[in-house]
Structure formats: structure tokens, C-alpha cells
Amino acid sequence: MTTARRSDATRAAILEAARERFASDGYDRATIRSIARDAGIDPSMVMRYYGNKEGLFAAASEIELNLPELGGLPARHVGAVLVTHFLERWERDDVLTGLLRVGVTNEAGAERMRAIFAQQLGPVTRGVCPDPAEAPRRAALVASQILGMALTRYVLRLPPVVEMTPEEIVAWLGPTVQRYLTAEAP
Amino acid sequence: MTTARRSDATRAAILEAARERFASDGYDRATIRSIARDAGIDPSMVMRYYGNKEGLFAAASEIELNLPELGGLPARHVGAVLVTHFLERWERDDVLTGLLRVGVTNEAGAERMRAIFAQQLGPVTRGVCPDPAEAPRRAALVASQILGMALTRYVLRLPPVVEMTPEEIVAWLGPTVQRYLTAEAP
DNA sequence: ATGGAATGTCAACGCCCGTTGGCCTACAGT
DNA sequence: ACTGTAGGCCAACGGGCGTTGACATTCCAT
């Protein structure tokens, strides 16, 4: 294991400031200078520890969705469970919002987003959909609805979406996700 | 009426170049200089005709969704019709993709997006959903799925979504939109 | 034909960016 | 106690940006 470094606190401060700035400003407007200011250090420290701006973003956008195992629960609940989980994940911190913002304007961000959904959402769907060969497609359909909700609620802030309670969102979106996962292919 | 100006061709060239750049690069990376280069004129002409970068974006993002009237057709087809229409609209040109890109990183873009969906999608839903008072919420749910599809297909380019044919997308998303519009509130 | 407005070019401005390299400072291993 | 090294700051660089104002050209109404 790697031993603790004296600079660990600084590294963490940079990473936290970076996540917030990327989330609220997007890749271009989140400047290294502003991130350094938030972290209370010099911009050159960012370069020293993360190489360059792309490296910083790569480090700041490492994400674990921590999706639940869907295998053990009644098949007709997986939609609601999945929507609930994503909603909580999105409300807890703004890393995912940041990733969404950056994924839209930056190819590295888009690639990161593709990887996360392929590696973390894909496997979970494999166990619950009728034909495993169709798992990627069904996961992508789920992603389209989940990300659309995140986009309209946390980024574009369409008023009717913002005003809905989490319970209402689960009630509306749960059956949709459910159908994308388990229904016969149309 | 305003008479034709000698500079109309230049104005149009600027607008077309701006739409393409905003669509492919987003607001920040779409520079006035690159737009002027594409249009074959000097950057200062952009300032003369559109005031500043924000004015140029406002002019470049005027959009007519041209949504069909849903009142006249069988209630159980409105979902498929709506999805088909949006899909065609999105494939025809990249103005909507551009608006989506800009709406994510730029507050003016987000406001434009909110206005378009409120003014153009809202009224259409009013005629087909059970309780007119719920029309905005149902329109927003529809927007969440439609925009999520656009996001994953045209911006993030999730491979399984890109590979789907328009017919397959309509078959999967049509019932979802249908339910958001016409089903009983859960 | 001519004066003036419309159209367009050119060079420059001030600003902020990512990034670099040099220089102090303070700690840790010996 | 001494020294090497990691941590940190500072000043500067080259470059691209949005924007501006002075100047040249073209066209049209008179």
C-alpha cells in the first residue's frame, strides 16, 4: 500500500473544489485558477498533482454508482428500485450532474459517461431481462429515461420536473424502466 | 415590411455557421472567430449584425418545433406520432442538438430550452391528457424521455442507442410517451 | 456625376486562460 | 545537527478570446 503523504489534504481539497466547479460550471468555464482559489492554494499545485486539466477531470469524475443487485427481489419491483436508487444518488452529491454537464461538451467526459453506464448499469440489467443478448440495448433505454430526468430536473430545471417529489417521480418513471427491462421486445 | 438588404446573404451565412458551431462545439468553444472563418467574413461583422456573442446565440437558436395537432387522431396513437415527429425533427438538422448542448452549460440556453418546451409542447398536451391542470407536468415527463433519447443518441452517443433504428425507438418510446400523456395519474 | 450610407477589412486593446520554471520553506531520515 | 526532498508560492510565458474603432470599398439615391 502507498503510505500517507503530507499533501493528501491538499489533493483532497483540490479534488473537492474541482468536482464542485465542474458540476456547476462545466468543463470550459471551470478554470484551474478558480478551482485553486476555492481550494485555497496556487494553480501550479493543480498541475503538480494532476498533470493538466484533463488529468484533473479524470480524477474528479471517478464515480461509483453502487447499483443494488436486482437478482434477489421480485421482478416487478426492479423499476421502482432502480429509479429510487438513481434519484438518491443524484440528490446526494453533484458529481453526477457535473459528469453530465461535462459529457455534453467534452469528448473525454462523454467517453467517461459511456464507460460508467456500460460497466455499471449493463451488468445489473443482464440478470433481469428476458434475453441476455438484449441487455445492452435495454440498459441504454433505461439510461435514456434516467438521464433525461436528470437533465430536465438538475440541469435544465424545467419547473414542472423540479416541483415533483421523489415519490411522484418514482411512481411515473418506475413502470417505464420496468418495461424497458422486462417487457417483451415490441 | 422590411426591405431586402444587400447584407442578407452575409447575415444568413453567419447564422448558418453559428448554428453548426454551436451544435458541434457548445457555447464556449464555438468562438466568434471560428464562426466568422466558416462564414468567410471578418469577426467584426458578427458584432455589427448581432451585437455580441449572446445576441448571435439568441438569433441562432430560434426554433419552431412545428408539432402536429394531436386532437384529431386516435388517442392511442399520440405517443408514437409525437416520438416520430421529434425523431424526424432531430435528424433533419442539428439546431436542436446545438440547443441541447448550449442549454447544459449556458443559462441563456437553458432558459431558451424551457421556453420552447413550455410554449410549444405544453399546448399540444393540453388537448389529450385527462386533466388539463396536469398538462404542464405531463408535458415535462414527455420532455424528460424525449430529451433523454436525444441526449444519449446525438450527444453522448451511447452505442446501443445509436444503433437502434427510428422504428425501434418509436416502438419502445411511443408507449412511454403515451402513458405520460393519457394514463391515470399513479 | 457625386455625396453619403451600407458593407467589409485590418490591427489592436485588455483580459483571462493553461502551463512552466525558479525560488523559498519546512519537514523527515540519518 | 545536517541535508535532501516534498510542499508551496510567485511571476511570467504565449496564446486565444470578445470586442472596438479607424479606415477602405461598394452601392444607390439624387
Please write the tens of the pLDDT for every residue from B139-186: 999 999 999 999 999 999 999 999 999 999 999 999 999 999 999 988
CA distance B39 to A138: 42
Q: What rounded mean pLDDT belongs to chain A?
A: 93
Whether the CB-CB separation of A23 and A97 falls below 8 Å is answered with yes
Q: What percent of chain A has pLDDT over 90?
A: 81
**pLDDT per residue as tens digits for the range A33-47:** 999 999 999 999 999
Question: Residue A108's closest chain B neighbor by CA?
Answer: B156
pLDDT at B109 over 80: yes
pLDDT value of position B3: 67
pLDDT at B81 over 70: yes
B141: cell is 415527463
pLDDT value of position B2: 57
Q: How many CB pairs under 8 A join A and B?
A: 139
Report, in angstroms and rounded to the nearest whole number, the Rg of chain B calculated over CA atoms: 19
In angstroms, the separation between the Cα of residue A147 and the nearest Cα of chain B is: 6
Of the pLDDT bands very low, low, confident and very high (cuts 50, 70, 90), residue A73 is confident
Q: Which of A36-50, A65-79, B86-100, B113-127 has the lowest mean pLDDT?
A: A65-79
pLDDT at A65 over 80: yes
* Residues of chain A neighbouring B145 (CB-CB closer than 8 A): 144-145, 148, 176
**pLDDT per residue as tens digits for the range A2-45:** 567 877 899 999 999 999 999 999 999 999 999 999 999 999 99
For A116, phi then psi, to 5°, come to -60, -45
The partner residue sitting opposite A145, judged by closest CB among B28, B113, B148, is B148
Output the distance from B30 CA to C13 C1' rounded to whole Å. 22
Q: How many residues can be counted in chain A?
A: 186
pLDDT value of position B94: 86
pLDDT value of position A2: 58
B31 nearest nt, CA–C1' = D17
* Residues of chain A neighbouring B103 (CB-CB closer than 8 A): 155-156
In order of their start, the domains of chain B are: 8-60 (1.10.10.60), 75-182 (no CATH)
For A54, phi then psi, to 5°, come to -65, -40
pLDDT value of position B130: 87
pLDDT at A1 over 60: no
CA distance A54 to A58: 6
**pLDDT per residue as tens digits for the range A105-151:** 899 999 999 999 999 999 999 989 889 999 999 999 999 999 999 99
> What is residue A35's three-state secondary structure?
helix
pLDDT value of position A161: 98
Using a CB–CB cut-off of 8 Å, the residues of B that contact A are 25-26, 28-29, 100-101, 103-105, 110, 113-114, 117, 136-137, 139-141, 143-149, 151-153, 155-161, 163-164, 171-173, 175-176, 179-180, 186
